[in-house]
Amino acid sequence: MAHEIRNPLFSIGGFANSLLRNTSLNEEAREKARIIFEESRRLDEILKRILNFARPTEQKMGIFNPEIVARQTMELMTIGAADRKITAVSDIAPNLPKVLGNAENLKQCLINLVKNAMEAMPDGGTVTMYAYRNDGHVAIMVQDTGVGIPPELQDQVFSPFFTTKHGGAGLGLAMSRKMVEEMGGKVYLKSKTGEGTSVILLLPAALAVDDPSLQETK
Ligand code: ADP
Ligand code: MG
């Protein structure tokens, strides 16, 4: 459907653009043409995001060590945290089992979660990344002491394009859930208004007898 909307939109934008170049147009009419042109561009950007979201992500599956990904993410995200009065804590259990999936995608998920955590603490606070073994899974939890999510919004935050932020894309949680589910995992949310939020990823541990066709990535 997004494709079908893009074609007429392309005509609208194109003709608005040609009107804009028409020198016989008075200023008032040109301003209107400019708005049509810019709004059609904005719609096109939204459609591009929808098309991107609908596409399966590039997931080259491999066996990797989730501990490395968790540590790398925290190293990356801690830069600049102190300036924002945010304490970043890592609580990562030793000897975690490896998981099957895509390390880069998991890193992107964790970056999304830590970014949300930091954005939820405008006056500072603590973001903690926990990683631990949980039955046949590796659990990774990103916890913050931020504003929390009201109960009536908790079902919506994973919907693509849902955002409460000015200029937010609303894709962080939706993309994260999609990528984790593609790895055979699950995402859970726990949140209390005024206290904070935890997002938990459960990733299936790779079995001891692994498929030899899957190469070790990290
Ligand atoms: P975005 O960050 O662009 O708004 P996300 O998909 O990452 O999109 O998050 C969607 C919405 O969920 C946010 O706008 C916010 O309202 C809520 N949210 C996500 N993470 C948190 C969090 N850690 N604390 C409070 N609210 C959150
Ligand atoms: Mg976000």
pLDDT in tens, 149-184: 999 999 999 999 999 999 888 999 999 999 999 999
Q: Report the C-alpha gap between 149 and 173 in whole angstroms.
A: 13
Give the ligand at the shortest distance from the Cα of 142.
1
Instruction: Tell me if residue 202 falls in helix, strand or coil.
Output: strand
| Distance from residue 151's CA to the centre of ligand 1 (Å) | 13
- Closest ligand 1 atom number to CA of residue 173: 6
Protein residue with its CA nearest to atom 12 in ligand 1? 157
Q: Report the C-alpha gap between 35 and 41 in whole angstroms.
A: 10
Q: Which H or E run includes 187?
A: strand 186-192
Task: Give the pairing of strands 125-134 and 86-92.
Answer: parallel
Protein residue with its CA nearest to atom 14 in ligand 1? 163
Q: Percentage of the chain surpassing pLDDT 70? A: 95
| Distance from residue 54's CA to the centre of ligand 1 (Å) | 20
Q: Output the ligand 1 site: residues, CB below 6 A.
A: 112, 116-117, 120, 144, 146-149, 157, 162-165, 168-174, 197
Q: Report the C-alpha gap between 8 and 102 in whole angstroms.
A: 38
Give the ligand at the shortest distance from the Cα of 169.
1
Please enumerate in sequence order all residues whose Cβ is within 8 A of that of 149, keeping only pairs 6 or more positions apart, or say none. Answer: 157, 189, 191, 193, 197
State the pTM of this model: 0.81
DSSP 214: S
- Closest ligand 1 atom number to CA of residue 171: 6
- Which residues line ion ligand 2, judged by CB < 5 Å? 116, 172
Q: Is the pLDDT of residue 211 over 60?
A: no
| Distance from residue 1's CA to the centre of ligand 1 (Å) | 27
Q: Report the C-alpha gap between 82 and 61 in whole angstroms.
A: 35
Summarize the confidence of residues 97-121 as an average pLDDT.
95
Phi, psi dihedral angles at 87 (to 5 degrees): -95, 130
| Whole-number pLDDT of residue 113 | 97
Residue 157: closest CA among 181, 135, 188, 179? 188
Pocket test for ligand 1, best of 159, 173, 176 (most atoms within 8 A of CB): 173
Residue found under tokens 């399966």: 56
Chain centre distance of CA 13: 30
Q: Is the pLDDT of residue 214 over 60?
A: no
